[in-house]
Structure 1
């Protein structure tokens, strides 16, 4: 299966999962300054799914475009010392008054929701998830996140109904490989 087919299946799965919400509405971060949110977010941990399985040193990179849409680049490696690979997509705000809720499209015509659930006041860490609560990501501006902040975000995820027992850390550095709590 090609990477493009994997991306298509991943987005289809995310779109389907995002549409199966039987929970109360997902909390949205109180205030999101889109300009400040743009840039690189390293994936610290997530609920693993097949499209990101085995990815290391992964990050989402967001850039606000003049037309108001957001360029989305998912950067990853298959080995810590391997070359960078990317997927490119786009995002937009279905309601400009709610910058914590995005629609993301990596493969046309499939779309998925992206909700900024919790954003640190200093814009150094974030919890993002799907309304279905099936998938979530904890991301940070740096490749490491202080343990207290990581635990705080896991607590928010648990309170919002995400399956925190399934969360695994994503290796960002060679020394992360094989450590407890990290994806194999």
Structure 2
């Protein structure tokens, strides 16, 4: 029941915030190779909101299914000593020719946009956001991201109109707790 309420709260937040778009469309990453994009992405930083606030050691995992949809699993902990929890959903491409713009559904019937705004050439880091620009995530294949790449992605986010002053890093290891710029559990 707790997993379901966490999922519902997460999706409601995304759906409500995602529906507020009044700016120009986001510039999307070009030519996203879905096979290469699949796998685990650690959440390095985000604009926190109620459903994710306080989560640590978070990651998104994507798997391309034979029918073309994408299985989505969110991994998180409510503290480093707490057991890992997961919840799942699905994603799909509303336009199969545009692999940078997905629809995500974590709880039926609610769905949200998922826009790959910037993707490093080596598929090592990514900036994902909502068209409303109220929420965004910086993710990487490793639990840490070099400072220069993190700053580059923040610059891209700022140029796209995201509220970079609200961005907080997600603690991926216990030593991150309490450090400047990190979300607090």
| TM-score, scaled to structure 1 | 0.97
Q: Tell me how far apart the structure 2 counterparts of residues 67 and 133 of structure 1 sit (CA, whole Å).
A: 30
Q: Structure 2: any 5+ residue segments left out of the alignment? A: none
CA distance in 2 between counterparts of 1:72 and 1:7 reads 12
Q: Residue 74 of structure 1 corresponds to which residue in structure 2? A: 74
Superposition CA RMSD, Å:
1.0
Q: Kindly state the Cα deviation for residue 17 of structure 1 after the two structures are TM-superposed.
A: 1.4
Cα offsets for 1:25-65 (capped at 9, x unmatched):
01110120000000000000000001011100000000000
Is the 2:13–2:51 contact (alpha carbons within 8 Å) kept by the matching residues of 1?
no
3-state DSSP of counterpart to 2:154:
helix
**1:95-131 deviation per Cα after TM superposition (whole angstroms, max 9, x unaligned):** 0000000000111110000000000000000000000
8 Å CA contact 2:43–2:58 kept in 1: the answer is yes
Any idea what the Cα deviations from partners look like across 1:142-171, whole Å, max 9, x if unmatched? 000000000000000000000000000000
Residue number in structure 1 paired with 2:43: 43
Match of 1:57 in 2: 57
Secondary structure in structure 1 of the residue aligned to 2:131: coil
| Matched residues, number | 184
Matches within 5 A, 1:31-180: 31-180=31-180
Q: 1:81 offset after TM fit, Å?
A: 2.8
Q: Deviation at 1:3?
A: 3.5
Higher deviation after alignment, 120-129 or 15-24: 15-24
TM-score (ref. length: structure 2): 0.97
Misfit runs of 4+, over 6 Å: none
Displacement of 1:19 in angstroms is 1.6
- Aligned positions of 1:23-34 closer than 5 A: 23-34=23-34
